[in-house]
Homo-oligomer: A and B are copies of this chain.
Amino acid sequence: MGETGETGSSRTRPTIYDVARAAGVAPSTVSRAFSRPGRVNAETADRIRRVAHELGYRTSPIGRGLPDGRTALLAIVVADLTNPFFFEIIRSAEKTAIDSGYTLLVVDAHESSGAERRALERTLPLVEGVVLATSRLSDAAIRAVAKQRPTVVMNRVVTDVPSVVTDNAQGMRRAVEHLAGLGHARLTYLAGPEASWADGMRWRAFREATRELGLRAWRLGPFAPTLAGGLSAAQALTTHSATATVAYNDLVAIGTMRGLTRLGVEIPRDLSVVGFDNIFGSDFCTPPLTTVASPLRHFGTFAVQRLLNQLRAPSSGSSPGLSAPALLPAKLVERGSTARRA
Contact = CB atoms under 8 A, between A and B. Distances in A.
Contacts of A159: none
Nearest to A63: B66
A60 B148 CA distance: 13
Nearest to A315: B1
Interface string A89-109: 011001000100001011010
A69 B12 CA distance: 9
A103 B91 CA distance: 21
A304 to B, nearest CB: 15
Q: How many copies does the complex hold?
A: 2
A258 interface: yes
Given A13-B148, A105-B105, A258-B284, 5 more contacts: A60-B125, A61-B125, A81-B87, A103-B126, A105-B106
A84 interface: yes
A183 interface: no
Contacts of A81: 87, 90-91, 106
Contacts of A41: none
Most B CB contacts (10 A, CB to CB) among A11, A12, A65, A126 go to: A126
A35 interface: no
